[in-house]
Amino acid sequence: MTDVRRRLAVSTAAFGGLACAAVLAAPLLGTTSISLRRVFDGSIPFADNVDAQIFFIARLPRALAGALVGATLAAAGVVFQALLRNPLATPFTLGVSAGSALGAMLAITFRLHLSLWGVSAVTAASFIGSIGAVAIVYALARARHRGFSTNILLLAGVTLNAFFSALILFVQYLADSAEALRTVRWLMGDLDVAGYGPLVAALPLCAAAFVAFAWLPRPLNLLSLDTDAAASRGVDVLRVQRVAFFSASMATGAAVSLGGPIGFIGIIVPHLVRLMVGSDHRVVLPASAMFGAAFLVAADVVARTAMAPVELPVGIITAIVGGPFFLWLLVRQR
Amino acid sequence: MGRGTRGGGLGTRDSGFGPSAKSGPPRAGSRGGIRGVTLTAAAIFALLYLNHGAPGLQPRAHLAAQAPRPPARIVSLVPSATEMLFAMGAGPRVAAVSSYDRFPPEVERLPRVGALVDPDVERILSLRPDLVVAYASQTDLLAHLARANIPVYPYRHGSLAAITGGMRDLGARIGMAAEAGRAAADLERGLAGVRAAVAGRPRPRTLLVIGREPQSLRAISVSGGFGFLHDLLVVAGGDNVFGDVPRESLMVATETILAKRPDVILELHYSDRSSREAEAREREAWSLLPGVPAVRNGRIHLLYGGELVVPGPRVVLTARAFAQALHEVRPR
């Protein structure tokens, strides 16, 4: 126990420090050089202070969005891997992101022009799509089964992914070339949220999910081994599965509607963290969230500076950087 | 009736004009003297044919062997090429158009044969065209048509100069070089008028937005320093803030726009003008960037219209709209 506490303290200090450093450094980095003194110079009106605008309007919300999306996807990845007892599970395995993408594609292709509280129609539609996918998968997993079959969950998710992918292609096919390009770009992920509205909209759901995540590590430790063994130790298996499924799915839906389906975070970060801190979910879950935040914020800095002024999709960076790094660590460990 | 009509007479004799029909796709760059001679011969032949009708054709068959006859049933998969064909007076020869063609109104009556990614080969073949204008990148379609011995005109989009150049080339290909030349000259005169109207005026630093997520500043796509939209902006007296990027379009972050500080934002919407409220909401989305001079000074212009996306004869209208937005002049 003390060992776990020590590891938790060390990993929180290390990964938390890394995440804080990334969020603090990211707004200072970019193709335009800005002066920090000018950014916080209250004597210059905000409308005339370009440095402050770049800092507060363009970079800071972007870094915060990266941290929120990265933390959420990485933590959701940990939860899904434990829930499905499958190391290859990702936040997108159960079709949440495909549902989200379908919603976004429909909003883009049919040019929905609605906006509520700073949230565009595309963001809202993608979140509604993710809820639809969650509802379908949950209904399928519960149908003809008194419990909560993770096998059916997995099969339903994979099938739904394929089905939604077909619908996405169909909607893209109906779109004209300009819209089709926008849909493809959306699928690559984008954290340039331009303001705090989309962040504020996604935050309550992610925060609620993290409250649930805080309760999950101990039962997930037992559940990831064997459901019967967990039940025999007094774990309310069905309840844990439900909480894990809904919290991770909702968080994924909120993250994807905010930043698009940014791949690799949800699988690479949990595995990287496990390689570093072991497999106890009490350490892995918070460490993954913090490392996911740092990783995505850093990837986004690369995305907006590598080919400036052309903006690279951040999903490409996470895949290009994350994949080989993960393989290197894997080879180095054994 | 059947004797003199193009559909009945020429259509049945396609195979008799082997050299022309089997010549395959013309090279995009093949133009000039030889083509001029062959087209003149073709024009003479067409006149003789129309004067004397099909039964009198036999003695003149050797002419056909030397020169391709002007196409009479053209299928256009390229909206800008369709507009060019109508502008040069070849509208009656257009037999079918792409699913994206909206202009001129006459195209509404014509069959649709798919577009860039989904050309309906079967439908195209069934229309028995004697020329198909397709994108040069539609290699599968071009191969199909080559196998069916249907001549094609591979079309490439490019700069503003490529529009008038393409119009003249297409006109030469269909035996209407003079008419195409006149239409191209009209276009050039129109553009020269815009240039003259804005000459000597200061060139405002302009952000040319070609797409973004509605009512938000996400996924902003802008014109780089290449392509007909950039060229039109230059003609209309604007200085493209991304003119130094050698790309037709690029996605940019809000940070870059803040740093570029454009004086004017021109935003293109390819649909018809929406309601005044919707337009105001789209304009309002830019208020997130109060430091951009265009936003602060209210110089955000939303332009609506299908012609904005078509690099064809109507680019003059776009250039005038740009000039009016940038300099409040109305070139004629």
Residue B241 has pLDDT above 60, yes or no: yes
Does residue B69 contact residue B46 with C-beta atoms inside 8 Å? yes
How many Å from the N-terminal Cα to the C-terminal Cα in chain B?
A: 45
Does residue B293 contact residue B263 with C-beta atoms inside 8 Å? yes
Which residues of chain A are modeled with pLDDT < 50? none
Does residue B226 contact residue B247 with C-beta atoms inside 8 Å? yes
Tell me how crowded residue B110 is: count the other CB atoms within 10 A of its CB.
18
Does residue B182 contact residue B214 with C-beta atoms inside 8 Å? no
B133-141: average pLDDT:
90
CA distances from A146 to A224, A229, B1, B227 (A): 20, 19, 78, 62
Using pLDDT thresholds of 50, 70 and 90, give the confidence band for residue B63.
Answer: very low
Q: Any idea which residue has 């395959």 for tokens? A: B24
Q: Do the strands B74-76 and B131-135 form a parallel or antiparallel pair, or are they unpaired?
A: parallel
Using pLDDT thresholds of 50, 70 and 90, give the confidence band for residue B51.
Answer: very low
- Chain B residues whose C-beta is within 8 A of a chain A C-beta are 100, 116-118, 210-211, 213-219, 221, 242, 245, 247, 250-256, 258-259, 261, 270-271, 274, 278, 281, 288-291, 296, 309
Helices (H), chain B: 6-9, 18-21, 33-52, 61-66, 79-87, 121-126, 139-147, 160-173, 177-198, 228-235, 254-260, 276-284, 293-296, 315-327
Does residue B300 contact residue B267 with C-beta atoms inside 8 Å? yes
CB-based contact, A60 to chain B, within 8 Å: no
Q: Please state, in angstroms and rounded to a whole number, the distance separating the CA atoms of residues B117 and B273.
A: 28
pTM for the predicted model, two decimal places: 0.79
Residue B16 has pLDDT above 80, yes or no: no
Chain A residues with CB-CB distance to B216 below 8 A: 115, 118, 120, 122-123, 194, 198
CB-based contact, A47 to chain B, within 8 Å: yes
Give which of B212, B221, B270, B268 is closest to B242, Cα–Cα.
B221
Task: Specify the DSSP class assigned to residue B112.
Answer: B
Choose from B213, B269, B276 for mutation: most chain A CBs within 10 A: B213
B37-45: average pLDDT:
48
> Given this model, what pLDDT does residue B67 score?
52
Helices (H), chain A: 2-25, 36-39, 50-53, 60-83, 96-109, 121-142, 150-174, 177-187, 197-215, 217-223, 227-232, 237-259, 265-277, 281-305, 314-333
Can you name the residues that pair with B300 across neighbouring β-strands?
B265
B278-302: average pLDDT:
90
A:158-177 residues touching chain B, CB 8 A cutoff: 173, 176-177
Q: Please state, in angstroms and rounded to a whole number, the distance separating the CA atoms of residues A314 and A320.
A: 10
Cβ–Cβ below 8 Å for B251 and A186: no
Which tens digits make up the pLDDT trace of B186-236?
A: 999 999 999 999 999 999 999 999 988 888 888 899 999 999 999 999 999
Cβ–Cβ below 8 Å for A309 and B245: yes
Across A5-9, B53-57, B143-147, least confident range = B53-57
Cβ–Cβ below 8 Å for A195 and B291: no
Residue B306 has pLDDT above 90, yes or no: no
Shortest distance between the Cα of B244 and any Cα of chain A, in A, equals 10
Cβ–Cβ below 8 Å for B218 and A193: yes
Q: How many residues does chain A have?
A: 334
Would you kindly state where each structural domain of chain A is located, as residue ranges?
3-333
Q: What are phi and psi of B316, to 5 degrees?
A: -60, -40
> Given this model, what pLDDT does residue B20 score?
35
Does residue B214 contact residue A112 with C-beta atoms inside 8 Å? yes
Element (H, E) at B208: strand B205-211
Cβ–Cβ below 8 Å for B255 and A54: yes
Chain A residues with CB-CB distance to B270 below 8 A: 178
For residue B93 the two structure tokens come to 């020869």
Angle at A296 between CA A294 and CA A114, to 5 degrees: 130
CB-based contact, A35 to chain B, within 8 Å: no
Residue B62 has pLDDT above 80, yes or no: no
Q: Which CATH number fits domain A3-333: 2.60.40.10, 3.40.50.300, 1.10.3470.10, 1.10.620.20?
A: 1.10.3470.10
Chain B residues with CB-CB distance to A122 below 8 A: 213-214, 216, 218
In this predicted complex, what is the ipTM? 0.79
> Given this model, what pLDDT does residue B27 score?
40
> Given this model, what pLDDT does residue A322 score?
77
